[in-house]
Amino acid sequence: MNRFPLFLDLKDRWIVIVGGGGAALRKARLLVSAGARPVLFASVFEAATRTELEDRAELIERLPLREDFTGAALAFIAIDDAEEAERLATIARQAGALVNVVDRPSLCDFTTPSIIDRGQIAIAISTDGGAPVLGRNLRADIEALLPSRAGELAGFAARYREAVKSTFSAADRRAFWERFFDGPIAARVLAGDETGAHEAMLEAINRPQNDTQTGVVHIVGAGPGDPELLTLKAFRLIQRADVILYDRLVGDEILSLARRDADRFYVGKAKSNHAVPQDEIEARMIALAREGKNVVRLKGGDPFVFGRGGEELEALRAAGVPAYVTPGVTAATGCAAAAGMALTHRDYAQAVTFVTGHAKGDADPDIDWAALAALKNTLVVYMGVGKAGRIASSLLAHGRSGDTPVAVIENGTLTNQIVAKGALQNLEAVIDAHGIKGPALLVIGEVAALADGDTLGELATENRRVA
């Protein structure tokens, strides 16, 4: 470590910035976000600097003299003239200030790190002034892992610090905080449920003998398959889960993100062969949460699109278990992106409808095909492969043209994605010809003609087929 990191309280401190351009503005912005009111000196201020800082800083239109640095905690020199910058750095240092000369690490007493700012949580990354772009990249990586409410969590814990201190012995205190940050109360703060978290916290402090706090259940969308399409929140929740209950369409790559000691239960259903009945899944989630577990119920796509997430949420709420929902990229939007086919398009379709081809048992789903045929917009059918023949004839019988383009997308967003194209009148034949078994979507409408199957550029494409 070449430079020592520390966190300064800059409120009400005298901080000088020399410069009136973009570099000075960026430093001033940082300082203002830390509660400081910097003083800027420059022969000329750029309009953008003046407009943004007018009410937040003092702007003095001349170069500073030695006495202007007297008592300054920090001085930033952000001017292009190298010789003048060196001279100003010297007089600032002689006046007792710590000096930073922008882009000249050898003249700096300190460097400004890449900063992650989450309120009470601040993370600073230094590359010793030598590789600021690397610093920014590392910052982006850490940002992605850090819950957006990390600052709120620190603030929440700070509010209870005294109460915990006066209730528990030093040894118990440490155990209490370990349980807190790994446990359901912190999960509730991070989920934005501060009221519930406060109630649970008071209970935990006032009745420590009732040691088991109720856990939480996160109903999480895992997206259509490609792990890169997970939301940041889903990624973080999977990594922190004690237990994961997952469905058939959640792949190994996504499951491998879980902690190694997390329990995993497969509760997926094969068609008409329910691996675990729905009420048993719900009962299991409730029981696990009551054991104090941080449970993630992981579902393919979005949990609220043909995913029974609504029923599960109702059951959890009825049981008094804290439950939160994290959306995911649903198969329709994921497959559309992966196949290069917009679901709405100003030239072809002004609306899109998602329907399911699946109903209880072998029954046909209760769908108004006449209304759907009349719309002439994009129709996306989930779970429709087995009933494709019946779906096509219903639409044709109600007036949709036999030439209407169709695209059948199997394993959308995955490396073995298949996009099979044809017309509504031969939908079943298209499916048979490509041996499509599912998971697959039927996309019916003019936009289906646009599908080309190669637009999620980052995925391996060698196995992908478009036909």
Q: Which residue in the list 193, 226, 247, 302 is annotated as catalytic?
A: 247
Q: Which is nearer to ligand SAM, 210 or 273 (CB)?
A: 273
Q: Which is nearer to ligand SAM, 197 or 380 (CB)?
A: 380
Q: Which is nearer to ligand SAM, 2 or 463 (CB)?
A: 463
Smallest separation, CB 431 to ligand SAM (Å): 12
Structure tokens at 102: 């922008």
Q: Which is nearer to ligand SAM, 38 or 224 (CB)?
A: 224
Three-point CA angle 417, 423, 428, nearest 5°: 70
Q: How many CB atoms lie within 10 A of CB 69?
A: 23
Nearest to 246 by CA among 277, 281, 279: 281
Q: How many residues does the chain have?
A: 467
How far is 384 from 382, CA to CA, in rounded Å? 5
- The verdict on whether 302 is a catalytic residue reads no
Q: Which residue lies nearest ligand SAM, judged by its C-beta?
A: 301
How far is 455 from 467, CA to CA, in rounded Å? 15
Query: Which neighbouring-strand residues pair with 60?
Result: 41
Contacts of 280 (CB under 8 A, 6+ apart): none
Smallest separation, CB 252 to ligand SAM (Å): 14
Q: Which residue has the tokens 């750095």?
A: 89
Query: Which neighbouring-strand residues pair with 465?
Result: 418
Q: Is 384 helix (H, G, I), strand (E, B) or coil?
A: coil
How far is 413 from 37, CA to CA, in rounded Å? 50
Smallest separation, CB 402 to ligand SAM (Å): 23
Binding residues for ligand SAM (CB under 6 A): 224-225, 249, 299-302, 305-307, 330-331, 335, 382-383, 409-413, 438-441
Q: Which is nearer to ligand SAM, 184 or 301 (CB)?
A: 301
Smallest separation, CB 300 to ligand SAM (Å): 5
The CA distances from residue 301 to 75, 201, 226, 305, 329, in Å, are: 52, 34, 10, 8, 5
Q: Which is nearer to ligand SAM, 147 or 307 (CB)?
A: 307
Q: Which is nearer to ligand SAM, 135 or 301 (CB)?
A: 301
Smallest separation, CB 305 to ligand SAM (Å): 4
Find out whether 105 and 114 touch, Cβ atoms under 8 Å: no
Smallest separation, CB 268 to ligand SAM (Å): 9
- Distance between alpha carbon 250 and the CA centroid of its chain, in Å? 18
Smallest separation, CB 225 to ligand SAM (Å): 4
- The verdict on whether 247 is a catalytic residue reads yes
How far is 116 from 24, CA to CA, in rounded Å? 20
Smallest separation, CB 417 to ligand SAM (Å): 7
The radius of gyration of the chain's CA atoms, rounded to the nearest angstrom, is: 30
DSSP output for 172-206: HHHHHHHHHHHSHHHHHHHTT-HHHHHHHHHHHHH
Q: Which is nearer to ligand SAM, 18 or 337 (CB)?
A: 337
- Mutual orientation of helices 194-206 and 170-182 as an angle, nearest 10°? 150
Q: Which residue in the list 109, 117, 263, 269 is annotated as catalytic?
A: 269
The CA distances from residue 207 to 164, 182, 199, 210, 322, in Å, are: 12, 19, 12, 6, 20
How far is 286 from 293, CA to CA, in rounded Å? 10
The residues that are catalytic are: 247, 269
